Amino acid sequence: LEALLVQADVVTIHLPRTEETEGLIGARELGLMKEGARLINTARGGIVEEEALAAAVKDGRLGGAALDVFEREPTTSSALFELDHVVVTPHLGASTVEAQDKAGTTIAEMVRLALRGEFVPYAVNVPAAGEVGEQVRPFVPLAEKLGAILTGLAEGPIHALEAEYLGKLAEHDTRVLTLAALKGALAPVVHEPVSFVNAPVIARERELHVSERRSTLSRDYVNLLVLRARTDGGEVAVAGTVVGSREGERIVQVFDFDMDMAPARHMVFFLYEDRPGVVGTVGTLLGEAGVNIASMEVGRHGAGGDALMGLAVDSPIPPAVLSRIEQAVGTTRARALTLPGQSWS
């Protein structure tokens, strides 16, 4: 045991609690471990002396610890609870082969979600952790995409993000959607990977205020998610919903223009004065640059008024091509977006 403690970076306990194993890992044994090493006990409480473990982590001798068992269970007070580098969870019991198989499968599925950067329902360090309702789940990837689009359309850094839920969606716990929208909004502008765990921390560091609004009344859609961002240049908004039995994602509003288009990996939006020939000009310039248009949508405030063109394209639009389109069309705003961190067909 001493040889193992001296060499190991991570020590995990896999023992029953008996007279011989009770207090097996105490202050002396913890002192033998490598500086910065981590200890995991998911076997039985009492094998590791909790006070000694808390002291070793608090002093910086150990890099951290994780436990789901304690000397006294249930426990509501422990020196370990107050330490940032200690993860504590309820004890997972699986006393039959079938229960162990199901527990293992569930854990594997959760790990896969985490590695893919997706929401992990039962993670203890996710603010909105918990079972996601059937009405809410289809909106999680959409909320993340809308958040990324919002950042791409914004004039400068976002100071405040508001998520508004309308229709039946407002009747449910939507914290995970707000968290997904925040994750999506931060991903394009933060160098480090953004996850459901660290997104709120990054938002606090950037002094980005996040809020929710809700109403069961929705004029046009059964469920509607509206994201608004406040920047130094004003407010920008984007809205979306999920429709049909296949749960198709739709962007239904950009700025204050009604739209109907599916989110795509590569998108571009042009704000301009409505007039004949603009669609043809944009298509020609993109075609000459070898950029294929997958879909196009135009929203406008009446003939001859302001108009917004949204396009989904198969490849990124080079800055020089975007500049040529701006000059040819006379756009008042042009934004080319590449959405990060999503699986695209």
Identify whether 228 is part of a domain: yes
Residue 125, pLDDT score: 74
State the pairing for strand pair 209-215/266-273.
unpaired
Is residue 143 located within the same domain as residue 201?
yes
Is residue 259 located within the same domain as residue 278?
no
- Given the residues 73, 82, 205, 247, the one annotated as active site: 73
Residue 118, pLDDT score: 81
Query: CA 319, 323, 329, 330: dihedral to nearest 10 degrees?
Result: 130
Which of 263, 283, 318 is the last residue in one of the domains? 263
Looking at the structure of the chain, the number of domains it has is: 3
Identify whether 118 is part of a domain: no
- For residue 201 the two structure tokens come to 């921390």
Is residue 254 located within the same domain as residue 311?
no
Tell me, yes or no, if 335 is annotated catalytic. no
Whether the ω angle into residue 316 lies within 30 degrees of 0, i.e. cis, is no
Identify whether 106 is part of a domain: no
Which of 183, 209, 205 is CA-nearest to residue 196? Answer: 183
CATH number of residue 44's parent domain: 3.40.50.720
CA pair distance 37, 85, nearest whole angstrom: 12
To the question of pTM greater than 0.85 for the whole model, the response is no
Is residue 193 located within the same domain as residue 243?
yes
Q: What is the DSSP secondary-structure string of 268-282?
A: EEEEEE--TTHHHHH
Is residue 143 located within the same domain as residue 249?
yes
- Given the residues 14, 28, 72, 91, the one annotated as active site: 91
**Neighbour order of strands in the sheet with 293-300:** 293-300, 306-313, 266-273, 333-338
Residue 129, pLDDT score: 65
Residue 75: give the domain boundaries.
2-88
Is residue 196 located within the same domain as residue 159?
yes
Is residue 141 located within the same domain as residue 257?
yes
Identify whether 66 is part of a domain: yes
Q: What is the mean pLDDT of each run of 10 residues along the chain (345 residues)?
A: 94 93 95 96 94 96 94 86 90 78 87 84 72 85 96 93 96 93 94 90 95 91 95 94 87 95 96 95 96 96 92 96 96 92 56
Residues in the chain: 345
Residue 157, pLDDT score: 93
Which of 88, 114, 143 is the last residue in one of the domains? 88
Tell me, yes or no, if 73 is annotated catalytic. yes
Is residue 243 located within the same domain as residue 310?
no
Which of 340, 345, 344, 335 is CA-nearest to residue 152? Answer: 335
Is residue 254 located within the same domain as residue 211?
yes
Residue 179, pLDDT score: 95
Is residue 254 located within the same domain as residue 275?
no
Is residue 207 located within the same domain as residue 277?
no
Residue 123, pLDDT score: 76
Tell me, yes or no, if 191 is annotated catalytic. no
Which of 247, 263, 279 is the last residue in one of the domains? 263
For 310, the enclosing helix (H) or strand (E) is strand 306-313
CATH number of residue 248's parent domain: 3.30.1330.90
- Given the residues 29, 38, 44, 144, the one annotated as active site: 44
> CA–CA distance from 319 to each of 119, 157, 322, 337 (Å)?
34, 21, 5, 11
CA pair distance 198, 212, nearest whole angstrom: 19
Residue 344, pLDDT score: 55
